[in-house]
Amino acid sequence: MLDSKISVTQLLIENRSTISVEHAVSLLEPLTIGFKQTSPILPKDARLFRVRVLSELPRNISDLGAPPDNVALMGRVNDTGKSVLYLSDLPRTAIAETRVQKGPCCLTEWQTTADNLLCANGGIL
Protein backbone atom coordinates (compact mmCIF):
# COMPACT_ATOMS: atom_id res chain seq x y z
CA MET A 1 0.00 0.00 0.00
CA LEU A 2 1.21 3.49 -0.80
CA ASP A 3 2.11 5.79 2.07
CA SER A 4 0.19 8.94 1.18
CA LYS A 5 -2.70 10.43 -0.73
CA ILE A 6 -0.24 12.35 -2.87
CA SER A 7 1.44 9.11 -3.96
CA VAL A 8 -1.90 7.58 -4.98
CA THR A 9 -2.95 10.73 -6.84
CA GLN A 10 0.39 10.94 -8.64
CA LEU A 11 0.22 7.24 -9.56
CA LEU A 12 -3.29 7.68 -11.00
CA ILE A 13 -2.32 10.78 -12.99
CA GLU A 14 0.86 9.24 -14.39
CA ASN A 15 -0.94 6.03 -15.41
CA ARG A 16 -4.35 7.45 -16.40
CA SER A 17 -4.20 6.07 -19.93
CA THR A 18 -3.53 2.47 -18.83
CA ILE A 19 -4.95 1.97 -15.34
CA SER A 20 -8.36 0.30 -15.05
CA VAL A 21 -11.23 1.70 -13.02
CA GLU A 22 -11.11 -1.41 -10.79
CA HIS A 23 -7.41 -0.82 -10.00
CA ALA A 24 -8.04 2.87 -9.34
CA VAL A 25 -10.87 1.97 -6.96
CA SER A 26 -8.63 -0.48 -5.08
CA LEU A 27 -6.06 2.29 -4.62
CA LEU A 28 -8.57 4.94 -3.59
CA GLU A 29 -10.81 2.82 -1.34
CA PRO A 30 -8.62 3.09 1.79
CA LEU A 31 -8.59 6.89 1.38
CA THR A 32 -12.39 7.19 1.31
CA ILE A 33 -13.15 5.43 4.59
CA GLY A 34 -15.69 7.55 6.44
CA PHE A 35 -17.04 9.31 3.35
CA LYS A 36 -20.59 8.69 2.18
CA GLN A 37 -20.92 7.91 -1.52
CA THR A 38 -24.37 7.93 -3.10
CA SER A 39 -26.08 7.10 -6.38
CA PRO A 40 -28.97 9.50 -6.90
CA ILE A 41 -32.27 8.45 -8.45
CA LEU A 42 -33.64 11.21 -10.67
CA PRO A 43 -37.31 11.81 -11.46
CA LYS A 44 -38.64 12.37 -14.97
CA ASP A 45 -37.98 15.92 -16.23
CA ALA A 46 -34.96 16.48 -13.95
CA ARG A 47 -32.71 19.23 -15.32
CA LEU A 48 -28.98 18.49 -15.71
CA PHE A 49 -26.15 20.55 -17.19
CA ARG A 50 -22.98 19.99 -19.18
CA VAL A 51 -20.21 22.34 -20.26
CA ARG A 52 -18.10 21.50 -23.26
CA VAL A 53 -14.94 23.41 -24.10
CA LEU A 54 -15.00 24.02 -27.83
CA SER A 55 -12.05 23.93 -30.20
CA GLU A 56 -14.50 24.49 -33.06
CA LEU A 57 -18.22 25.14 -33.45
CA PRO A 58 -20.37 22.02 -33.02
CA ARG A 59 -21.88 20.68 -36.24
CA ASN A 60 -24.74 18.81 -34.58
CA ILE A 61 -26.18 18.09 -31.14
CA SER A 62 -24.16 14.87 -30.75
CA ASP A 63 -20.99 17.01 -30.69
CA LEU A 64 -22.15 18.33 -27.30
CA GLY A 65 -22.67 14.93 -25.69
CA ALA A 66 -20.18 12.39 -24.41
CA PRO A 67 -16.86 12.31 -26.25
CA PRO A 68 -16.19 9.47 -28.72
CA ASP A 69 -14.70 6.34 -27.12
CA ASN A 70 -11.43 6.75 -29.00
CA VAL A 71 -10.65 10.05 -27.21
CA ALA A 72 -12.13 9.27 -23.77
CA LEU A 73 -9.59 9.43 -20.94
CA MET A 74 -10.04 7.68 -17.59
CA GLY A 75 -12.49 9.61 -15.45
CA ARG A 76 -14.22 9.15 -12.12
CA VAL A 77 -16.65 6.57 -13.49
CA ASN A 78 -15.10 5.36 -16.75
CA ASP A 79 -12.05 3.56 -18.10
CA THR A 80 -9.84 4.95 -20.85
CA GLY A 81 -11.55 4.39 -24.21
CA LYS A 82 -15.03 4.09 -22.64
CA SER A 83 -17.03 7.26 -22.94
CA VAL A 84 -19.37 8.52 -20.23
CA LEU A 85 -21.62 11.58 -20.30
CA TYR A 86 -20.82 13.67 -17.23
CA LEU A 87 -23.67 15.95 -16.12
CA SER A 88 -24.18 18.23 -13.10
CA ASP A 89 -27.27 19.35 -11.24
CA LEU A 90 -26.25 23.04 -11.39
CA PRO A 91 -24.76 25.13 -14.22
CA ARG A 92 -22.02 26.49 -11.90
CA THR A 93 -20.98 22.94 -10.97
CA ALA A 94 -20.71 21.98 -14.65
CA ILE A 95 -18.54 25.05 -15.26
CA ALA A 96 -16.32 24.31 -12.24
CA GLU A 97 -15.95 20.63 -13.19
CA THR A 98 -14.72 21.60 -16.66
CA ARG A 99 -12.19 24.07 -15.22
CA VAL A 100 -12.97 26.59 -17.97
CA GLN A 101 -10.25 29.27 -17.99
CA LYS A 102 -10.67 31.16 -21.26
CA GLY A 103 -11.97 30.51 -24.70
CA PRO A 104 -15.20 29.29 -26.22
CA CYS A 105 -17.39 26.84 -24.37
CA CYS A 106 -20.99 25.75 -24.50
CA LEU A 107 -23.37 25.16 -21.58
CA THR A 108 -26.16 22.73 -22.45
CA GLU A 109 -29.21 21.72 -20.44
CA TRP A 110 -30.41 18.12 -20.52
CA GLN A 111 -33.71 16.75 -19.27
CA THR A 112 -34.43 13.19 -18.19
CA THR A 113 -37.21 11.42 -20.07
CA ALA A 114 -37.51 8.37 -17.80
CA ASP A 115 -38.72 8.27 -14.20
CA ASN A 116 -36.51 6.91 -11.40
CA LEU A 117 -33.27 7.09 -13.43
CA LEU A 118 -30.40 5.63 -11.39
CA CYS A 119 -27.23 7.65 -11.89
CA ALA A 120 -23.59 7.03 -11.12
CA ASN A 121 -22.32 9.72 -8.78
CA GLY A 122 -18.71 10.67 -9.40
CA GLY A 123 -18.69 13.06 -6.46
CA ILE A 124 -18.51 12.55 -2.75
CA LEU A 125 -21.07 14.08 -0.40
Q: Are 45 and 15 contained in the same domain?
A: no
Q: Please give the average per-residue pLDDT across 17-33, as a whole number.
A: 75
Q: Are 91 and 56 contained in the same domain?
A: yes
CA 9 to chain centroid, in Å, comes to: 17
Q: Which domain holds residue 12?
A: 1-34
Whether 124 maps to a domain, the answer reads no
Q: Are 22 and 59 contained in the same domain?
A: no
Q: Are 26 and 71 contained in the same domain?
A: no
Q: Are 14 and 68 contained in the same domain?
A: no
Q: Are 55 and 1 contained in the same domain?
A: no
Q: Are 57 and 108 contained in the same domain?
A: yes
pLDDT > 50? residue 3 = no
Look at residue 86 and give its three-state secondary structure: coil
Cβ count within 10 A of residue 47: 13
pLDDT > 60? residue 124 = no
Check residue 109 and give its pLDDT. Answer: 92
Structural domains counted in the chain: 2
27-57 residue pLDDT tens: 777 766 666 666 678 889 999 999 888 888 8
Whether 98 maps to a domain, the answer reads yes
**Distance between CA atoms of residues 68 and 75, nearest Å:** 14
Q: Are 82 and 65 contained in the same domain?
A: yes
66-119 residue pLDDT tens: 888 898 888 777 788 888 888 888 999 888 888 777 778 888 999 988 887 777
Q: Are 19 and 48 contained in the same domain?
A: no
